[in-house]
Amino acid sequence: MKTTITHNKREYEIDLEKPFDISVPMTGDVSSVNAWYIDHPRIEPHTEHGFTGSVKAGASTNFNDIWFNPHAHGTHTECVGHITREFHSVNESLKKYFFLAEVITIAPGKLGEDFVISKHQLSNAIKSRDSRALVIRTLPNTKEKLSKQYSNTNPPYLKEEAVKYLIELGIDHLLVDLPSVDKEKDGGALLAHNAFWNFNGEIRKNATITEFVFVPNEVEDGAYFLNIQMAPFVNDASPSRPVLYKINQT
């Protein structure tokens, strides 16, 4: 089924039958992607007073408890509440769910012992000036990203200047296939997070960062409509399911 969407007075045709889900599934064991030095997520039958919430164990229904941290255990969308003393919920920050987006692919460059995404790389890769959302796929792009244990691996990150450039372009929703837009161990500086939300100025309360996406290789760079599906957690971050739809301008 195809439909037409109007954005900035332009019409785009999208095929709703051909979505690209770029979220990373959360499993309840060590095969789940993980970061930030904590245990893997758990999905287990609830037990209480001799009851076990499992049909296999004799219950009438499966009734699982789930333990996880949204920042560490899979695709999640976060708001400025991630770095503020004051409470801000991503459930309140994200009020619209469809955005014109661009997918780009970048091989992070070497900087000392780090691999980083620079302003120069972004300026060469980004072709659209109309997108409000940007999806960054990093190279190498292997299925290892679906289960990688990132703690103490110093993953690639975005330089502060790169994030400021994205704001200049009007990017309100940034999606990356990394555990963080910032360096794993930076002494709490969080330069990219602070820059993206303009923490020292007029805070961009409706801007979001989505981390731990996975963009399959068959998804070509270019323009898409993005649907950010998110669980309504009253928290600074929530598990999310970003979905891309290829578009044709009519």
Asked if residue 38 is part of any domain, the answer here is: no
Asked if residue 58 is part of any domain, the answer here is: no
Instruction: Give the whole-angstrom CA distance, residue 72 versus residue 198.
Output: 24
Asked if residue 6 is part of any domain, the answer here is: yes
**What backbone phi and psi angles, to 5 degrees, belong to 57?**
-90, 5
Asked if residue 42 is part of any domain, the answer here is: no
| Domain containing residue 110 | 2-27+70-249
Q: What is the per-residue pLDDT across 131-162, written as a single tens digit (0 to 9) for each?
A: 999 999 999 999 999 999 999 999 999 999 99
Contact by Cβ (8 Å): 119, 159: yes
Asked if residue 39 is part of any domain, the answer here is: no
CATH code for position 193: 3.50.30.50
Query: pTM for the full model?
Result: 0.96
Asked if residue 242 is part of any domain, the answer here is: yes
Asked if residue 46 is part of any domain, the answer here is: no
> What total of structural domains would you count in the chain?
1
Q: What is the per-residue pLDDT across 51-101, written as a single tens digit (0 to 9) for each?
A: 999 999 999 999 999 999 999 999 999 999 999 999 999 999 999 999 999
Asked if residue 158 is part of any domain, the answer here is: yes
